[in-house]
Amino acid sequence: MPKKATSPARVPHSLAGPGDRLSLTLFFALMLHAIVILGVSFQASPPHERHESSLDVTLVHSRSAKAPKRPDFLAQANQIGGGTLDKPAKPSTPLASPLPAPVPAVTPPPPQAPPPSEARKAPVRVITTQAPASHKARVSRPKEETSPAHHQHPSASKLISNSMQIASLSAEIERSMRAYAKRPRRRFVTANTTEARYAMYVEAWRKKIERIGNLNYPDEAKRRRLQGRLRLEVALNADGTINDIILRQSSGERVLDDAALRIVHLAAPFAPFPPDIRKETDILHIIRTWEFLSSSRLYTR
């Protein structure tokens, strides 16, 4: 009889070894992690879809005690609208911005060689920054080279010489100021003077000159029957004494010119200035024309 085919013997599950179960568990764990890891992907959003958070704050120049119920803008203080527009608009101001303006970049000029005779100085570097606006331009100045000549002190003889020069100049200035402050007040009068106080004094002076002149008429002029006309300026002090005599115009005859000067000295001193003249005049200049006649008479006019 033919033999029946025999199938391979089946091994019961319970007969599988521990190593086989561990391998099977690791296999399923790896498959699960692979599915999780490979199934999750990351994708960056496009640049145009990015949103940046910003805060728009408006500066206002007035303040309200109450806060508005529906504010249109954020500001540093409460303000209830009081403009002239129908739609909400940001307030503007004609005032200048409190932030400093950006400092423009400065291009330093090309370096130039200094003359040989001048002492070389350390260069100055200017560093400017464009941003931010609150930063100011920084200037870096290296320390100047100091030379021994800067620390030399003047000698004692030079100091004494400078002090003497300064003292001399100060004394000269003081003398000039005193001389100007004490300059006498002068007054010039002629035959055409109409002020009563001066006209009366000059008239008294004229009468005395003519009286003394006719009493002391020069003998040579009488003998030679000389005649001539001269112009004389007599300056008198407040006490009536002679301050100066100036011959403004000669008569052409030395005898007559000398006779006029001698007559003035013989008639001096004259009357002191009256109080109304003394309070405003220190020296009175009397300018008159002297006329010597051939009849041996003297007149002034």
Q: Which domains does the chain have, with CATH numbers?
A: 187-300 (3.30.1150)
- The answer on pLDDT for 129 being more than 60 is no
Give the model's confidence band at 127: pLDDT under 50 very low, under 70 low, under 90 confident, else very high. very low
Query: Mean pLDDT across the stretch 39-56?
Result: 56
> In this prediction, what percent of the chain has a pLDDT beyond 70?
55
Q: What integer pLDDT is reported at residue 126 of this predicted model?
A: 45
Q: What integer pLDDT is reported at residue 65 of this predicted model?
A: 67
> Per the structure block, which two tokens stand in for 46?
């496009």
Name residue 284's beta-bridge partners.
187, 236
Q: What integer pLDDT is reported at residue 168 of this predicted model?
A: 83
Give the model's confidence band at 154: pLDDT under 50 very low, under 70 low, under 90 confident, else very high. confident
The listed range with the strongest mean pLDDT (72-86, 123-137, 269-283) is 269-283
Q: How far is CA 36 from the centre of its chain?
A: 83
pTM over cut 0.95: no
> In this prediction, what percent of the chain has a pLDDT beyond 90?
36
